Amino acid sequence: MIALKFMASNQPPIKRDVAADAREGISTGASVTTTPPTEPPGAGTETELVDTDKATEYLNQGNELLRKGKIDEAVALYAAAVQLTPDDEDAHYNLALALAKRGKADEARKHYEEALRIYPDYSEAHNNLGNLLVAQGRLSEGVEHFKAALAVAPESASAHNNLGTALARQGKIALAIVHFDQAVRLQPDYIEARYNLGNAYLSENRVEAAIQEFSALLRLQPGFEPAQRGLAKARRTQALGSPQR
């Protein structure tokens, strides 16, 4: 078996319209401002809506900053959203994602876990938390989160790819291939999944299949150097007629 690397990928931050949740049919549980009993009837609801709208603005502004690579500023805005609406799973999720990008894995894990406490079927949080755990070497825990993500969203190409990556790191290459292949079927232009599938085939000495996947990937993204190296390795292996050590 050839020892190769595999690529995981996170789900992106959640973007919401003001006063509306982007994930249709999912209640965020946001709005937690406590209304003093001396306020007139309805004042609490109005205050909560203001807080929810402001938190949503912070989330969307944080997303834009994160896209520009301004991670610390994004973290500050996401944290402000969490402070305003601590029962909003999206605020915890986005904060966790930004903290993970900053390298603060333990803090990120806590916020992913809080998002899942609020909304246990949050597939994106399961997926990203799984990646975080796998990166820490906690493969079995990561696998369980990827499986939980797929139980909620069975057509998540990202979760299939990430589950395949964790399984491959556990040495379960044949099972990993099933999930890499499914990720590619669901999203044919998924660069990481195609690369992983090619590597998995090569690891199993299925050289022709590996060449086919790396070639398909390079038609999608000709300058992708890992695939160029993978294709070269597969062709060398094919020329030797035996697995490359």
First and final CA of the chain: distance in angstroms? 8
143/156 Cα distance (integer angstroms): 15
pLDDT at 242 over 90: no
Summarised one tens digit per residue, pLDDT across range 67-89 is 999 999 999 999 999 999 999 99
Angle at CA 35, nearest 5°, toward 31 and 37?
Answer: 155
**pLDDT at site 240:** 87
Give residue-wise pLDDT tens across range 1-53.
Answer: 444 678 887 777 776 554 333 343 322 232 222 223 334 444 455 556 668 89
Residue 93 has a pLDDT of 96
pTM for the model: 0.82
Closest Cα to residue 215, out of 190, 200, 239, 234?
234
Q: Which two tokens stand for residue 219?
A: 């038609």
What is the pLDDT, as a whole number, of residue 149? 97
Q: Residue 22 has which token pair?
A: 């982007």
Query: pLDDT confidence of 65, banded at 50, 70, 90?
Result: very high
Cα 174–Cα 6–Cα 159 angle in degrees, nearest 5: 75
What pLDDT, on the 0 to 100 scale, is given for residue 4? 61
Question: Three-state DSSP class for 41?
Answer: coil
Segment 200-226 mean pLDDT: 96
